[in-house]
Amino acid sequence: MLLIQMLAAAAIAAAAMQFFDVGNAALAAVIGIAIVLLVRLVITGNNFLLAARHRSETPMHHRIKTWTGVRLFLYEFRATMTASSWTMPFRTFSVRMPAQPQGLPVLLVHGYGCNSGYWHAMSKSLQKANITHRAVDLEPVIGSIDEYAPLIHRAVETLCRETGSDKVVIVAHSMGGLASRAYLRDHGPARIARLITLGTPHHGTSLAHFGVGLNTHQMQWTASEQEGLSSEWLRKLKSGENPAIYRLMVSIYSHHDNIISPQTSSHLDGAKNIELNGIGHVALGFDPEVQAMVIREVRDASARHAPIPAPYAALKPA
């Protein structure tokens, strides 16, 4: 995507110099970059318009004013540009271990069309909190979500082996939450202390109809919030799950998500649901409030699954 944007900006700059008498190369380059940014701005705006077609009713206490809406749009545009043009091309990573780790290790699972670089901002917050974390890259990009479950399984086992922990916390964005549920379906919850999803279409999203790849078909939602239907894959996923695993899950989502529509698709019965407003889809992983929530959930999961201190490990209940 970055290469296409660079080539488009260069082509526009060349056209400006050849056909519109722009004699300054620097000015032509600025025009090319500005037009590319404008196109990306329009794409972001179009996502909000598409999401509005099947959006769920926003609860009164989550409704926002005009200026907050403008800030929401600009923040989502910035997050989208940062992820696609900087962190995903140049800031990918596999594992980051602090000198003095605290709590359970975390596995980061990205969403559709992304890679580990999406988590750059979240990684910085986890590092400050001294939380060991590893990121997995889901490939093939347009493959089946079922194909990602073995990748997550290997990453979980690797993280446990690296840290000596018998459990991890998974933090997943968007489609990554569905891939993590597929992992739990196939491998069970023995290794997972908590699954935290950010903007995951647990029941599907209408915007998946505009995507490319088998995974987008698996995430589809048809019709309105009241009359909608999840994809066959999502229905099979639910029927193959033990409902008890939902107690391990925390679903964090925004009523103003511009990719998940209806937005209440992220609400999962039986899980802990945290509803937000004024945050876009990509921006969920960049938002300081969301990052703080994730860290609190990781620490809570760590406290609940803390190892028994060595002097008391041999004692048995009376």
Which residues are paired to 251 by β-bridges? 197, 273
Superfamily holding 90-304: Alpha/Beta hydrolase fold, catalytic domain (3.40.50.1820)
CA 12 to the chain's CA centroid = 33
pLDDT value, residue 312: 31
Q: Where are the domains of the chain?
A: 1-53, 90-304
pTM value is: 0.92
Which residues are paired to 109 by β-bridges? 136, 172
With cut-offs at 50, 70 and 90, classify the pLDDT of residue 225: low
Q: What share of the chain is helix, strand, coil (3-state, %, to 5)?
A: 55, 15, 35
Tokens of 156: 């979980």
* Percentage of the chain modeled with pLDDT above 90: 88
pLDDT value, residue 310: 42
pLDDT in tens, 144-197: 999 999 999 999 999 999 999 999 999 999 999 999 999 999 999 999 999 999
Which residues are paired to 196 by β-bridges? 171, 250
Mean residue pLDDT across the chain: 93
Residues 53-70: what's their mean pLDDT?
96
pLDDT value, residue 74: 98
pLDDT in tens, 269-284: 999 999 999 999 999 9
